[in-house]
């Protein structure tokens, strides 16, 4: 029997909160933990991937598989950019609340300026209002499309 692992229930890593220990163990005997993501999904994560130390080479896990994919928060380009991760998480959160209130096409746009550049696109939608209170996509290097007098489809 491996020694009883330290209780990590309640610890928070990005969008994940540790909820209970799993029966699963890694080859080296470390425990897996069930974590609940902010979106409500659960993900089983080996304990050594739950870390706040982003400087180490090992990848860390900070969201469920679905959110990780949506946010690309485990992608190489932004691996160490915590601010960008937070911006994408905020945009994702804003957009979830806007579902049905804005065109679906806006919700498929990149999440941030940097995300748009990564994908080679020019528009992004963070789900935030501009200084003139428009809710509209933004153009990279530009501002809100409504301010620019353009329709997002143009
Ligand atoms: Zn999630
Ligand atoms: Zn505007």
The pLDDT value given to residue 141 = 83
72-101: per-residue pLDDT in tens? Answer: 655 545 555 778 888 999 999 999 999 999
**How far, in Å, is the centroid of ligand 1 from the Cα of 70?**
9
Cα 150 to Cα 11: distance, rounded to the nearest angstrom: 46
Give the number of whichever ligand sits closest to the CA of residue 130.
2
Average per-residue pLDDT for the chain: 86
Helix segments in the chain, DSSP class H = 65-71, 82-97, 104-107, 113-119
Give the number of whichever ligand sits closest to the CA of residue 149.
2
**How far, in Å, is the centroid of ligand 2 from the Cα of 138?**
9
Where residue 149 falls (left for φ over 0; alpha for ψ -120 to 50; beta otherwise) is left
pTM over 0.75: no
Produce one character per residue of 112-128: b if its CB has 16 or more CB atoms within 10 Å, e if not.
bbbbbebeeeebbbbbe
Cα 93 to Cα 89: distance, rounded to the nearest angstrom: 6
DSSP conformation letters of 97-134: HTBTTB-HHHHTS-SSHHHHHHHT-SEE--S-B-TT--
Q: Using the predicted structure, report yes or no on whether residue 129 has a pLDDT greater than 90.
A: yes
Give the number of whichever ligand sits closest to the CA of residue 69.
1
């Amino acid at each position: 029997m491996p020694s009883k692992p330290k209780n990590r229930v309640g610890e928070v890593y990005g969008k994940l909160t540790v909820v209970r220990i799993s029966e699963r163990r890694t080859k080296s005997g470390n425990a897996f933990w069930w974590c609940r993501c902010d979106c409500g999904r659960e993900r089983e994560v080996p304990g050594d991937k739950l870390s706040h130390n982003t400087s180490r080479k090992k990848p860390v896990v900070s969201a469920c598989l679905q959110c990780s994919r949506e946010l690309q928060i485990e992608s190489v380009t932004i691996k160490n950019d915590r601010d960008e991760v937070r911006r994408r998480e905020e945009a994702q959160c804003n957009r979830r609340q806007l579902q049905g209130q804005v065109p679906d096409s806006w919700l498929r746009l990149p999440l941030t300026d940097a995300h748009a550049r990564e994908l080679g696109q020019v528009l992004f939608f963070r789900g935030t209002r501009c200084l003139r209170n428009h809710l509209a996509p933004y153009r990279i290097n530009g501002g809100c499309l409504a301010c620019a007098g353009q329709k997002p489809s143009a």
